[in-house]
Amino acid sequence: MLGKRSVQHSLFEPLMLPHRVPEDSFYGRMGQVIDVLFRDEELGEMYCLDNGRPSLPPSLMSGVTLLQFHDNATDGEAVQRLQFDLRWKVALRLPLDFAGFDPSSLSVFRDRLRKHGRERYAFDRMIEVGREAGFLPSRVQTLIDSTHMLGAGATKDTYALVRHALRKLLRAMGYHLPQRRKKLGKNLECYLDREYKPKIDWSDPQARKEHLQGLVADAHSVLELALEDAEDEEVRSLGWMLSKILGDDISFNEKGEAEIAQGTAEDRIISVTDPQMRHGRKSSAQRFDGEKLHVVEEPSSELLLNLGVGPGNEHDGKEFNPMIGGVEEHYGLEVAASIGDGAYGSGDNRAECAEKGLDLISPLASPRRGLAKSQFHIDLERAQVTCPEGHTTSKWGWAKDQKGRKVRRFQFPAGVCLNCPRHQECVGGRKSGRRITLHYHEAHLIAARERQKTESFRETYRIRSKVERKIAELVSHGLRQARYIGLEKTEVQALWTGAGVNLKRLFKLAEGAGIHLREVVDKPKVPPSFYVWLALEDVQECSQKANGIGRASPYDLGAPETGGRCHLDRNRALGRKASTYVIPPLPGRELWTSYQLGTTRPYPRQNSAP
């Protein structure tokens, strides 16, 4: 059942006693707004309303979770700080004798958030406060970038990966139980031992090769056993994972002998503990194992607008549209322009942005060696390509890009290229002429290259550094290391850390603007459970009851001017009698009036009825 924080204050609250926590610190400022920043009713759908033991108040748990990620504390450390850290007691308005709770309650609370789709609750709340305070306009410019996160799972070599996957699959099929364990052969029973590692000379290539043959054979035997329990979802999932590990890491020679595959598969599983972890690179010299954190920031307020976590091996450009689309979807903001590094400036992204009317400001990189395609003049209307030395070709044929789309490929004559003084720089050791393959959206790339040469582009692009500073701030709060297994749980970590960073920024913005943030956070809201919103011009007196429910209403809620669009509120759903209805707003109305129990109070026009 939903538990609520008591409105009765304690004499032992730090605010009632002298303390050394500065009022202008993050903790002191949070203590000034915490009672109105998070409200128990806003998360009421996560709990039963009328049955069971009262839960820990979700407003308290939200505050603790935000502080936990802000201070990069574990669940156990968070509870200890609740009990002994005066800064946390000030921030949460807790009495000095607060007893705390079991650390597992924080894990349960996070699971509730994910289960009910409220993992963005705190992050969305900060954006809402930012908009109400006027720090965020309805039409925004965004900065986008990414950084790596180190995964929480253990990474292992191929031999250990296969053994670990075998153990998990055997346990999922119940072979760790005594009755079923007897049915296993000795060659498979050993994999149930967590500490099992074959005693061979690992420095001997032949010994490793012989062990690999047996390991692969045992894996195939276990996969055959798994077919008997294929209806079990966990068995199917683990069987697929073991098959993928074998496919990624094992190859067979001409004799049919298993070998460690050369190279690295594109989507290789590197951890059985966290199968969603991947090898990733932020540059040719920087490799990591884990996930990628994607960040969207509004440059004028420096507030975070979106955070997301994706696979470590995924290209940054693929996340551009989902991340920018999330800003528009969650908050109804119109993104006018977005600034990102070269990873986001693909032709496909530029074409999609052009369709939406979004200005994508991103540089196009040029190779460090040789003559880049950007140094050739491409005339799409005449279907000609001219090289830097002035040679022109109109010879082209069709080719296919990585997505299977038909694109033009221009070919320079071999004789022209062989006699060119820049042959080695342009073509290299090949004896054929230079080839120039156009992008499917080459027109957008040509326009981007021309724009990149302008001073206005360079001036605008300079502000991109703000998002790098914001990423550094997120990393300082612990986002370099993932705490949890899986992308969904890691994203919860990112969103709540971002909420803490945004709250800290809101305090600074409010101070600079001379605004008392509590007045913004505590702005009275009109809950739909108690009010009826009607346009003044549409009110008609009537002496009948509204649909025969509740007290007699002096207004005809089904008047033709309102289209008869009257909806009972949630009080009716809960079985309580109430004369509360919600009327969808009509265009062109300058003032709305709230009617509650016969009283009339004017409110400024809002975008929509509550």
- Weakest-pLDDT range from 31-45, 415-429, 511-525, 551-565: 551-565
User: How far apart are the C-alpha atoms of 414 and 391, rounded to whole Å?
Assistant: 12
> Among the ranges 111-120, 175-184, 372-381, which has the highest mean pLDDT value?
111-120
At residue 150, the pLDDT reads 97
Q: How confident is the model at residue 56 (pLDDT cuts 50, 70, 90)?
A: very high
- Weakest-pLDDT range from 206-220, 311-325, 494-508, 536-550: 536-550
At residue 525, the pLDDT reads 55
Positive or negative, the CA dihedral 376, 377, 379, 385 is: negative
- Weakest-pLDDT range from 63-67, 108-112, 506-510, 579-583: 579-583
Long-range CB pairs of 377-384, under 8 A, 24+ apart, other chains included: 378/436, 378/438, 378/442, 378/446, 380/442, 380/443, 380/446, 383/408
Rounded-to-10 torsion of CA 352, 355, 358, 360: 40
At residue 18, the pLDDT reads 87
Q: Would you call 182 exposed, middle or buried from its count of C-beta atoms within 10 A (0-12, 13-18, 19+)? A: exposed
Burial 295-333 (b: 16+ CB within 10 A, else e): bbbbbebbbbbbbbbbbbbbebbbbbbebbebbbeebeb
Q: What amino acid is encoded at 19 in this protein?
A: H
Residue 406 pLDDT exceeds 80: yes
> Taking residues 412-432, what's their average pLDDT?
88
At residue 10, the pLDDT reads 84
At residue 9, the pLDDT reads 81
User: How far apart are the C-alpha atoms of 466 and 459, rounded to whole Å?
Assistant: 14
Reduced to 3 states (helix: H, G, I; strand: E, B; else coil), residue 532 is: strand
Query: What is the average pLDDT score of the chain?
Result: 85
In this structure, are residues 448 and 345 in contact, taking their beta carbons and an 8 Å threshold?
yes
pLDDT, tens digit (0-9, with 9 covering 90-100), for 143-191: 999 999 999 999 999 999 999 999 999 999 999 998 888 888 888 999 9
* Angle (nearest 5°) at CA 519 between 513 and 520: 70
At residue 522, the pLDDT reads 84
Q: Where are the domains of the chain?
A: 14-118, 158-260, 373-448, 532-604
Q: What amino acid is encoded at 468 in this protein?
A: E
At residue 524, the pLDDT reads 60
Q: How confident is the model at residue 584 (pLDDT cuts 50, 70, 90)?
A: very low
Residue 432 pLDDT exceeds 50: yes
**CB 165: neighbour CB atoms within 10 A?**
25
Residue 585 pLDDT exceeds 50: no
Q: Which of 92, 104, 100 is nearest to 32 (CA)?
A: 92
Rounded-to-10 torsion of CA 336, 337, 343, 345: 90
Residue 560 pLDDT exceeds 90: no
At residue 576, the pLDDT reads 35
User: How far apart are the C-alpha atoms of 541 and 555, rounded to whole Å?
Assistant: 5
pLDDT, tens digit (0-9, with 9 covering 90-100), for 268-322: 999 999 999 999 987 778 899 999 999 999 999 999 999 999 999 999 999 999 9
**49 or 354, which is more confident?**
354
> Taking residues 584-607, what's their average pLDDT?
36
pLDDT, tens digit (0-9, with 9 covering 90-100), for 471-484: 999 999 999 999 99
Question: What percentage of the chain exceeds 90 in pLDDT?
Answer: 71
At residue 564, the pLDDT reads 34
At residue 554, the pLDDT reads 32
The token duo for 118 is: 């409220």
> Taking residues 336-343, what's their average pLDDT?
95
